[in-house]
A and B are shown apart, each in its own frame.
Chain A
């Protein structure tokens, strides 16, 4: 009898066990790795596919159609004949350099201060806060504050503030990585040998922090150079490169082909540089 009851109870237990084992096997199957990687790579393709297509279409006679042929250099010819983009380009470069310089200097001092602080958590959180705020929101907020509340005339200076708020957290993070790694004993040794604080900083600390600081400079420059959302609110009458591109792209006008060529050229210069830079940065850490 008892054995009959046991067998009656079996199927349910058995079923549960089979179900568990099935899920386990499902999880253990190496197929999951393949699915994970395939989906991730598909997402990467969603990012880089359009960039490649952008390059292809910049040679197409009709860039907004789906056909790359007939191929033509006409848009590049038009681009070089057209000088309207020179001023925005130059302004973006200068602004980027200013933002990069400011981020490097302020970032270095703040990162050194953070490592020395008793409780850096609050300061760090505040410094990194703009990372969390959407560009449109901080742009609108700065616009209402500077333009409406303070009644100031917007221009390059407000673009600088907006870009600084965007680029600084990234710069700070990069510099923090090297300041945290910095060996304090080096400074102690130099002090024991009679070096003044300024000498210690310039001759010992700064050279060792330099990889992080220069990385931060490049990051900040690129972030500023490509910044659009904050710029649309804070530009006043100024036009930066991304603002120019945006105006051309969203107006659906005949200028679009030029934007394709221009963006392709900028990408052709910046992508390899960024690729090499980041790869070196991450590969060094990976080893």
Chain B
């Protein structure tokens, strides 16, 4: 990052607006942004150390909520959510890495690449509930899949575990978080200089060795990024378990939501703090893996290409 910054502050660039105006604006923005992003996250974490008495928050630090989580067995929900998040994230990365590698290095047609990136971008802008609710008519006992299976005589009676089950929830999650797994990996892979890959094969490296010793280490920040963008939102997934779990699959997101609607702020806060903790931990890993690898400008050059 240092070189890029040195460039922009070199004396040749004397064109900046009255430096103070830019500075002022950035300052005000940061203040407001901290107010609506960082402060709420800190406050909700702090709330997990308060207690409720007669629907009033008692601002008196206590560990009651956390002890209560352990005693009432809510920690099982945390474990179950982690299980879901880990397995779905693992599958996502497993499918996303080869696909991203092909997209960044294997795909020779710019039009095909642009088309696939378009397809990966669009889901960010689609209403989630209508997208997920359709799965009911696909996976349900009289849904498409069961109709096909029964109709073809493969099974006698409809499979009931297709919908309102762990399977259905994982299935819905996989589709929802595939693009977020592909994008960071794709970005770092397309940053890798083709000459490096060519040099590796010129020096006699097999494709497997090139993958193992050249591509994989350079793509690590992207893989960690993909994990962050998949694992963290999965920890707080709510739409998929709610619509496809049918009350059978209780995850962290629903617990937070129901605790909040019961005005049980400390429990909702403690469960949210678990998610925030995971987020901070993974972000730290990401920052360490990014350190000194990429500058802001090189990242955007790759977007530019």
Interface residues of A (CB under 8 A from B): 23-24, 26-28, 32-33, 35-37, 39-40, 43-44, 46-51, 53-54, 57, 63-67, 106, 109-110, 112-121, 123-124, 126-127, 129-138, 140-146, 148-149, 161, 164-165, 170, 176-177, 180-181, 184, 187-188, 191, 197, 201, 219, 222-223, 226, 228-229, 232-233, 241-242, 245-246, 249-250, 256, 259-260, 262-263, 266-267, 270-271, 274-275, 278-279, 282-283, 285-287
Q: Is the CB of A228 within 8 A of B239?
A: yes
Task: Give A32 to B26 CA distance when docked, in angstroms.
Answer: 48
Q: Is the CB of A134 within 8 A of B275?
A: yes
Q: Is the CB of B36 within 8 A of A142?
A: yes
Given contacts A46-B178, A141-B272, is CB(A228)–CB(B119) below 8 Å? no
Q: Is the CB of B142 within 8 A of A145?
A: no
Q: Is the CB of A51 within 8 A of B143?
A: no
Which residues of chain B come closer than 8 Å to A271, judged between CB atoms? 122
Which residues of chain B come closer than 8 Å to A287, judged between CB atoms? 110
Name the one of A53, A127, A259 contacting B33, with C-beta atoms under 8 angstroms.
A127
Which residues of chain A come closer than 8 Å to B300, judged between CB atoms? 176-177, 180-181
Is B262 close to A, CB under 8 A? no
Nearest CB in chain A to that of B18: its residue: A197
Name the one of A24, A226, A278 contacting B208, with C-beta atoms under 8 angstroms.
A24
Q: Is the CB of B208 within 8 A of A282?
A: no
Which residues of chain A come closer than 8 Å to B235, judged between CB atoms? 134
Which residues of chain B come closer than 8 Å to A119, judged between CB atoms? 1, 5
* Of B62-70, B129-137, B191-199, the one with at least 4 CB within 8 A of chain A: B129-137
Nearest CB in chain A to that of B228: its residue: A132
Is B219 close to A, CB under 8 A? no
Nearest CB in chain B to that of A246: its residue: B129
Q: Is the CB of B44 within 8 A of A145?
A: yes
Write 17 A-B pairs (CB below 8 A) sorted by A numbering: A33-B106, A44-B120, A53-B138, A57-B134, A66-B137, A116-B16, A133-B37, A133-B232, A137-B279, A138-B40, A142-B36, A144-B260, A228-B239, A270-B126, A275-B118, A279-B115, A287-B110
Task: Give A141 to B25 CA distance when docked, in angstroms.
Answer: 26
Nearest CB in chain B to that of A52: its residue: B134
Q: Is the CB of B147 within 8 A of A275?
A: no
Name the one of A36, A165, A266 contacting B37, with C-beta atoms under 8 angstroms.
A165
The 7 A-B residue pairs with the shortest CB-CB distance in the complex, in nearest-first order? A40-B99, A36-B98, A134-B236, A263-B130, A141-B40, A286-B110, A46-B175
Name the one of B36, B175, B182 contacting A161, with C-beta atoms under 8 angstroms.
B36
Which residues of chain A come closer than 8 Å to B19, judged between CB atoms? 116
Task: Give A46 to B303 CA distance when docked, in angstroms.
Answer: 26
Q: Is the CB of A241 within 8 A of B43?
A: no
Residues 245-296 (chain B) with a chain A CB within 8 angstroms: 253, 256-257, 260, 265, 268-269, 272, 275-276, 279, 283, 296
Residues 1-39 (chain B) with a chain A CB within 8 angstroms: 1, 5, 8-9, 13-19, 22-23, 25-26, 29-30, 33-34, 36-39
Q: Is the CB of B122 within 8 A of A63?
A: no
A3 CB to closest chain B CB, in angstroms?
29
Q: Is the CB of A283 within 8 A of B272?
A: no
Q: Is the CB of A113 within 8 A of B95?
A: no
Which residues of chain B come closer than 8 Å to A127, judged between CB atoms? 29, 33
Q: Is the CB of A118 within 8 A of B9?
A: yes
